[in-house]
Structure 1
Amino acid sequence: MIQKGLEGVKICESSICYLDGINGRLYYRGIPVEELAEKSTFEETAYFLWYGKLPTKSELEEFKRKMADYRELPDEALEILYHLPKDLHYIDVLKIFLSIHGSMDGNDEDLREKAIRVASVFPTILAYYYRYSKGKELIKPRKDLSHVENFYYMMFGERNEKIRLLESAFILLMEQDINASTFAALVIASTLSDLYSCIVGALGALKGPLHGGASEKVPPMLEEIGSEDRVEEFVQKCLKEKRKIMGFGHRVYKTYDPRAVFLKRVLQEHFPDSKLFRIASKLEEYIVSNKIKNIYPNVDLYSSVLFEELGFPRNMFTALFATARVVGWTAHVIEYVSDNKLIRPTSEYVGPMDVEYIPIERRDENG
């Protein structure tokens, strides 16, 4: 039996993440994601996903030191930055630098160590390219700042009292079972290719508008709506034109996405007067109360508003997603290859058989 899109097909056992799409719950190794977003840090949650246990104080300090040590790019990779066009998509920038970085990194290192190295360098790549593309001086990583604090500092040259909001968002985005990009990483990993190739493949999948790329399309949509009183008109127009409403619907969640619920509360508390937030809230209210297609807001609706309010450029939103999700990708690769089997599905052939080969001189140009 063919399962289009592999919907509902289980490809492996995993202890990393449990997603309950009926009741709208998400757990990382048994802990509700909301609790981690509220109480944990990027480094602690990454350690938890990679090692399968919460770290002790000394383990966490050593882990944070290691991530800080891995932040800088090799000089050879950094030289390439100044030869790049200044209008690239940030996902493509990540793919370029990870390919270069990976080509200089040996394959004999422990996979967890490689995962730490890969995740640590994501913010540096994005911040360096952002400042280069704006004609600004690059800001070097600071080892005295946390992973998320350092990222913001390298981007904008200042600290932000609301940085905890970005950290919570990254924790919420860190993992989500076998989604399209994670599956892409696992297909590559199952061939026993290197970890960098797995992540470059995952980035390619994430870039698509039906996956992580949707977040970049939410703010323009909210601006198109323009005001809260135009929500109904906009939704009805989308229905008439069979146009997708960005930030709504999910392949697995059949109710509220718990990550969207958390981020809505964060925005309500910290950015209640945001015009985009008010329009997004009204859009959610209208769609859910009127049971429009029985869809609910997903994490893109409110994460994109948060990224906007924190000052990040819109064409970086998908890359921000990746900066968090790289932890989940690598955690799944580590787990899958520990009991590896090449992923090789088949198709149901529906074409003709025993077709005669016609020499080119006898072929009719008109078909």
Structure 2
Amino acid sequence: MLQLLAPDGTRTPHDELDPVLAHLTADDLRGYYRDMVMIRAADLEATSLQRQGQLGLWASALGQEGAQIGAGHAARTQDYLVPTYREHGVAWARGIEPMTLLELFRGISHCGWDPFAIRTHPYMIVLGAQTPHAVGYGMGLQRDGVVGTGDVDTDTAVLALFGDGTSSEGEVSESFTFAASFQAPVVFYSQNNQWAISVPTSVQTRVPLAQRSRGWGIPSLRVDGNDVLACLATTRIALDAARAGEGPRFIEALTYRMAAHTTSDDPTRYRPRAEEEEWAAKDPILRLRLHLQQIDEIDDAYIARCDEEAHDLAMRLHHHIHEMPDPDPRTLFDDVYAEPHPLVEEERAAYAQYLSQFEDDAEGAAR
């Protein structure tokens, strides 16, 4: 397992990874720390909002901030990212506000951002369904001639993100087949958070997940997913190779889901408390803070400022969701197709007629 930062913050040199990070400044490192603090605060507030009945569901990324912030910042602007439903840190790195994510889980937004403009696919709820999309997009990039040109502003890759449970889905194996056969510029990035809902990784596979892609001839590696610097470096190396036309890569980021699978799950029914405590000591935020303290590049004032900003973000989320009006339900039929479609229009009219009966009932009651 590749690791640059130990749980106590100690930095270990690495001949292959260090050159990739040589340009990083202390400001960059403090920025990654702030990113993780901010997204964790948003995550915790989202869980609270769901408990208050303001969200239909929430999938927490608590404990996985290092894997996500590292991978998100490893991508170039032109790369296309394909997440599942838990990549809140990746979304943050791509400039997607947490408010937008909460609107999705509130059930009033299909996506909330322009996937083409931000180069980030909508969240995918169906496990594994996004990986064939990612490979198809990568094959399209090849045909567009934006892979292997040698131009850093042109060459493009796809980063497909998913969990350990998703890696057991058939769509992932099928995606490996096409990606390997066509040498598509795709990096498969699996966050192994140890639990596919209540099924541990030890039941899902008898070998490390990183070995799964090798049967397809796809090079792979395993990285400490709670080490933001190692995740950043390894993902950059993999994306560089994909952009250069060297084919797909697979990364297993070893991390831990500290919260429930979703807010409808109760991990106390299947997960030992001792295991949670063991992983809490490997926390990615604490790890980077300890490192910055060791190199004297962070002080109490900066830590406090990050905490204050995080609290302010959580409060903005709270008020944003509580004050949000419900949209007109008829907008459900907007943007289904680029051009008007007779079936959609027929369904829109039928639904409008259905809604009108409630309006009539309300008017009658008022009279």
Q: One fold, TM greater than 0.5?
A: no
Query: TM-score normalised to the size of structure 1?
Result: 0.28
Query: TM-score normalised to the size of structure 2?
Result: 0.28
